[in-house]
Amino acid sequence: MSRGISVFFAFVLLLICSPSLFAAGEEAPAACPPPAEDGFARNWVSAITPLQPTEHVLYPVTDLSGGTLEVRYRVSGQLHLTEVIDLAKIELPARHNTAAAPPNGPKKGDPQALVLPNEPLEGVRAIELLTLHPDTMRELHRLANDGVAIELELLHNGQPRETTSFAELTLRTARLRENPILPLFAPSAVTGPGEVRSTRRLRVATNEYLENCWECTESHPCSTECGFDPGKGGPVTCGEYGAPCEPWCAASYTSGEWWTGWTFYSTSLSGGHCWLTHSGYRWYNRRVTTYRRERIRRTTTCPNSPSCTGCYDTEAVIQVQYSSSECWENTYSSCFNGDTPCCYRCGVDSWTCGGAGCW
């Protein structure tokens, strides 16, 4: 008889906590929403191809404070690159959103419907190596995939810290990304024969109408019409706009600078909470998602200045920003007394889970 009762209660537990009973065709979000895009950034098209999230190589700096981190990249035993990272200028990710009440609506006025305190961001502090040089990092991945031996020697403030292989550091990065991380941006300088530089792109002179005046370049005649001026009731010219245009071009100048759009970087769970919603007490995991964007600077060089013939553009990443968003992810699991995760974290034949009640 007692065995029958045990089986009955086990069946009840499964019914109460089965995700399929409450999902109703919904799926838990894989990531929290990204920050709002800058409308200006979407008008620019860059020749730089960003790395995939798995191509970034991370290095933890939780135990480092200030100073510089020097990384020497040796390829087949020869010094290939030297990167000097300024740890005194690290930037924490911004927080554009904190976890408010779950989206399916807690009962109004209930204490469990209150927004939780703004908890600090958690995770291993880590920087990206070659973060301002995506093409160079991509080339290291290519060499490593071809079986070329790559060794990294790391020094903090001139003192040896460790020597490791590129393959080992890539493996450590993959393990690191399985847990909450706090990505940091720190400016760096890279020198050496292994640096991959931006490709030159020649300009072509044109008399076409330009929808936006910032598209004016030194290859456009100053009479090229662009944009729209409400005062004139029509377009202006590149010369009136003040853009560099023929017949004179500077030897070198910044012809554009903008942020790229936000792209997914990483996501992880950071604690949880039991909320009283319209469908009863439900356990929600607190998800933290990080997004990343780059600031691109386009430089125009005219080797025949003041003539505008033969001018070309180069682009470089000059800064990286991270932004973390938080949201509540419904596990569709019941919880008890408003504070206990239950059921799928406990054995169905047990009434306790780590000393806490489970129903």
What is the spatial distance between Cα 293 and Cα 320, in angstroms, rounded to a whole number? 6
Domain ranges in the chain are 206-245
Degrees to nearest 5, angle at CA 173 with 321 and 29: 65
Degrees to nearest 5, angle at CA 260 with 324 and 131: 70
Judged by average pLDDT, the poorest of 110-124, 204-218, 260-274 is 110-124
Write down the pTM of the prediction: 0.71
pLDDT for residue 304 is more than 50: yes
What burial class does residue 117 get, using C-beta atoms within 10 Å of its C-beta: 0-12 exposed, 13-18 middle, 19+ buried? exposed
Residues 6+ apart with CB under 8 A from 86: 68, 186, 187, 188
Residues 6+ apart with CB under 8 A from 199: 47, 314
- pLDDT score recorded for residue 335: 73
Among residues 186, 140, 146, 192, which one has the least CA distance to residue 166? 140
Task: Work out the pLDDT band at 249, boundaries 50, 70, 90.
Answer: confident
Q: Any idea which residue has 């880590």 for tokens? A: 126
Beta bridge partners of 334: 282
- pLDDT score recorded for residue 214: 86
Task: Work out the pLDDT band at 103, boundaries 50, 70, 90.
Answer: low
Share of the chain above pLDDT 70, in %: 72
CB neighbours of residue 68 within 10 Å? 17
Judged by average pLDDT, the poorest of 127-131, 142-146, 165-169, 219-223 is 219-223
- pLDDT score recorded for residue 215: 85
Pairing of strands 188-191, 78-86: antiparallel
- pLDDT score recorded for residue 185: 94
Q: If you average pLDDT over every residue of the chain, what do you get?
A: 78
Task: Work out the pLDDT band at 207, boundaries 50, 70, 90.
Answer: low
Judged by average pLDDT, the poorest of 23-27, 194-198, 238-242 is 23-27
Most confident of 170-184, 207-221, 321-335: 170-184
Judged by average pLDDT, the poorest of 21-30, 146-155, 162-171 is 21-30
pLDDT for residue 343 is more than 80: no
Average pLDDT over residues 135-160: 96
Task: Work out the pLDDT band at 68, boundaries 50, 70, 90.
Answer: very high
- pLDDT score recorded for residue 200: 66
Please give the structure tokens belonging to residue 323: 């932004």
Among residues 61, 199, 77, 195, which one has the least CA distance to residue 137? 195
pLDDT for residue 338 is more than 70: no
Q: Cα–Cα distances in Å, from 245 out to 1, 212, 216, 306?
A: 93, 15, 7, 11
What is the spatial distance between Cα 10 and Cα 351, in angstroms, rounded to a whole number? 10
What is the spatial distance between Cα 258 and Cα 35, in angstroms, rounded to a whole number? 16
pLDDT for residue 280 is more than 80: no
CA atoms within 13 A on the CB side of 253: 14
